[in-house]
Chains A and B, each alone.
Chain A
C-alpha cells in the first residue's frame, strides 16, 4: 500500500473510533494489505489521537493465545498503543454508550516498567530486571471493524483492537510471584466464567513482553520506563454490555473489577 492510502486508512479508523462507527474489513477492500502496512495504519491512527491531545502511556500485546492465533491463522502476537484516555482505575464506571462499540473483556497481567527496554536482543531476564511491578488488569478490547470480522491485518491496523484498560488494586514485585503458574479467576455478574494461568499467554507473560520489546525494536521504538504494558489475555474474551460487572483475581497479585454503565 502506498503512503497516501495508509494515511487515509488510519484517518478512517480514527474517525470510526471518535464517532463510534464500524468499518468494512480492510482485508476485504485491499487484498494485498500486509501486516507491515497494517502497523503503519495503526501508527497513523495513534498519531491522530496524539494530535487530539492524548498521551501515549504504554503498549498492549494481543493474539497471545494459541486459540486466537489459530483463529487468525498467525503464529505471532501483535501490539498496539495505550493512551491516557484509555486508562481506568479500579471501581471506576465505564460508560459503554459514550466510549465503546462492541466491547469484550479479557483478564491480563500489566507490567509497569522502571527502565527502558530497547530491542532487539532483549531477554526475559532484561524484562524482569526492568519491571517495577505487575498488576491485575482488565483490558476492554473493542473493534472498529464491523462485527469483529477481523483478519490479522484488520486488528493490527485497528491498534490491536484496544478499547481501554482497568488496573487493579495492588502492585506486586515480580520477584514475589510465579508469573507462569499464577492462577486467574474471572467472574461476571457474580458467576465464575473462566479460569486460567500465566502460561496461557505464549507460555508466560514475561515471554510476551520480551517479544514486544524485540518486535518494537524492528521499528526503532523503545518500551519506556514508567510505561504500562498489557501482556495478553489468559482467558477467553467475554462480551460485555451496560449493567455488567466483571472482576478478575490473580493468585498472589490481587484483583481488578469494572462496572459497565
Chain B
C-alpha cells in the first residue's frame, strides 16, 4: 500500500467524495469507482475518504472514532483483498445498546461482532505494536458494526472500499467495559444471534491474530499519512465473526465472554 503518489486531480477527488457520500446519505448503490478510474492509487483512495470526512465535519458532524475493516484472513479472502483498511465513525453512526437501526436509511446492511478499544494515551506509527496498544488502552467494550458498502452487491476492490470509508454506516456499543489486563483478548469468545438463532461464533484471534494487533495496524497506517491516534479515541477492531445480512424486522443479540451482551433491532 506504499504508493505515496496520487494520480487523481484534487477536483476528481472532490467529485468522487461527493459521489460516494451522496450514495451513503441517500442510500443508493453505485458501481465501484476503480471501474471509471483504473489508475487511481491507494493515496487517492484515502484522499477521497478524508475528503468525505472533511465534508461531514464542515457540515457540523463530529468524528467520534475510527474503525478497522477487512482485518480477518477469512474476510480478506472472501472479499478478494489483501490488506486491511480503516475508516472513520461520524456521530450519527452511533446507536445505543438495545436501540433501533433504520433499515431504510441503508442499502444492504450486514452486522459484524467486534470489540472496541478506547485509548488513554496517543498512539503513533510506524512501529506501533500490541504492547504499545495494551499500554495505551483505557478500556475495551463490546461493539457491533453495521457495514453497508455503497457498491453494488457488496462487490469492491481495496481501493474502492477505502474511498467508501471502508463501508462504515452504523455501530452499536454496549455490554460491559473491562481493563485489558482482565481479559484474555486472543481467546475471548463471541456468539452472534439473529432472531434468537446462533448465526456465527468466533474468538478474538480471528482479528489479525489478536485484537490489539488491529489497533496497532491502524496507528501504523495513519502514521503513513503523518496522522496519530489521540488519547480518548474509540476504535473498532474489525469483525470477529462473519458478516451476517440483516433484514427489516430482524433483532440481534451478541454475547461476549466476560463482556456481557449487546442487542439491537432493524426497523
Contacts and interface: CB of A to CB of B under 8 A. Distances in A.
A56 interface: no
Contact of A183 (B73, B188, B198, B209): B188
Contacts of B202: 183, 195-197
A192 B198 contact: no
Greatest chain A CB density within 10 A among B201, B205, B240 is at B201
Interface stretch (A8-16, A74-82, A139-147, A246-254): A246-254
A203 interface: yes
Interface stretch (A31-39, A47-55, A158-166, A174-182): A174-182
Interface string A197-211: 111100100000000
Contacts of A181: 189-191, 255-258
A63 to B, nearest CB: 16
A213 interface: no
Contacts, number: 80
A192 B189 contact: no
Contact of A195 (B184, B240, B255): B240
A57 interface: no
Interface in B164-206: 184, 186-191, 198, 201-206
Contacts of B257: 178, 181-183, 197, 251-252
Interface string A166-191: 00000000000010111111000000
Contact of B198 (A178, A182, A184, A199): A199
Contact of A251 (B184, B209, B240): B184
Contacts of A197: 189-191, 201-203, 257
Identify the interface centre among A180, A183, A199: most chain B CB within 10 Å of its CB. A183
B201 A185 contact: no
A251 B205 contact: no
Contacts of A234: 201
A180 B255 contact: yes
B203 A251 contact: yes
A200 B201 contact: yes
Interface string B66-84: 0000000100000000000
A185 B186 contact: yes
A89 to B, nearest CB: 22
Interface of A: 66, 178, 180-185, 192, 195-200, 203, 234, 249-252
10 contacts: A181-B189, A181-B256, A183-B190, A184-B203, A185-B187, A195-B203, A195-B206, A197-B191, A197-B203, A234-B201
Cβ-closest 7 pairs across A and B: A183-B189, A183-B203, A197-B189, A251-B187, A197-B201, A195-B203, A181-B257
Interface of B: 73, 184, 186-191, 198, 201-206, 209, 240, 255-258
